[in-house]
């Protein structure tokens, strides 16, 4: 379950109810969760807690999908999907893998995103975009001059600004999804101590005692 409460349809703001109608039909998404893409849909029901926040997020979605954008949709989706993977968000990575298909990216390019740097399926420009994505997400914006020079050979300043804004926007969404345990990011922490089996622990103790007494 998400870490924050969800907003049921009767309690939702008009903008949230409008999105509920679009995504869930006439269902209450809290009582009867599930979207057409298979997600629970709780990103929407949690963001509905603060209607202005939901509206702001929707404006971000509208921004990157606007046909006025200069950045190629395939480059944009490569960056968004890689950002999800690099940030460790199952939700963003899974959803935007689907979006990659919707803009015509091949299956081999989608499959290679986790190990893009050792794959030969990408063009030089795509590799530069993926390297730039990693610099934004994994290096916190520490972008080498040489990489930026390569981007500027192929992309306008406007396209680079759009790419930067959209990629870091999805780094944010990936971070939020993990922090609030939304959608596919509702998973337990994997990095924990694993207790040693009792018998093995006893053997270790006996071995230490034996070593100390001889």
pLDDT in tens, 117-150: 999 999 999 999 999 999 999 999 999 999 999 9
Structure tokens at 10: 């009767």
This prediction has a pTM of: 0.90
51 within 8 A of 13, measured Cβ to Cβ: yes
**What is the rounded distance in angstroms from the CA atom of residue 158 to the CA atom of residue 161?**
5
Tell me the pLDDT of the chain averaged across its residues: 95
Q: What is the pLDDT of residue 201?
A: 65
Tell me: the pLDDT tens digits for 159-205? 999 999 999 999 999 999 999 999 999 999 999 988 777 766 667 66
Give span(s): CATH 1.20.1290.10, the chain. 72-189
Give me the CATH code for the 72-189 domain, please: 1.20.1290.10
Above pLDDT 70, what percent of the chain? 93
């Amino acid at each position: 379950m998400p870490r924050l409460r969800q907003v049921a349809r009767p309690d939702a703001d008009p903008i949230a109810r409008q999105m509920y109608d679009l995504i869930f039909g006439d269902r209450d998404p809290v009582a009867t969760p599930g979207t057409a893409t298979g997600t629970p849909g709780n990103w929407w029901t949690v963001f509905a807690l603060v209607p202005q926040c939901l509206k702001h997020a929707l404006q971000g979605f509208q921004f990157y999908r606007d046909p006025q954008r200069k950045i190629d949709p395939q480059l944009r989706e490569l960056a968004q999907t890689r950002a999800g993977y690099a940030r460790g968000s199952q939700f963003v990575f899974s959803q935007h893998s689907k979006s990659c298909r919707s803009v015509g990216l091949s299956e081999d390019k989608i499959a290679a995103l986790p190990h893009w740097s050792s794959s030969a399926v990408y063009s030089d420009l795509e590799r530069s975009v993926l390297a730039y994505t990693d610099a934004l997400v994994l290096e916190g914006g520490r972008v080498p001059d040489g990489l930026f020079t390569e981007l500027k050979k192929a992309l306008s300043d406007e396209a680079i600004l759009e790419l930067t804004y959209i990629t870091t926007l999805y780094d944010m969404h990936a971070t939020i999804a993990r922090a609030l345990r939304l959608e596919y990011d509702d998973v337990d922490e994997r990095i924990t101590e694993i207790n040693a089996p009792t018998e093995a622990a006893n053997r270790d103790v006996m071995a230490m005692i034996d070593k100390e007494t001889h």
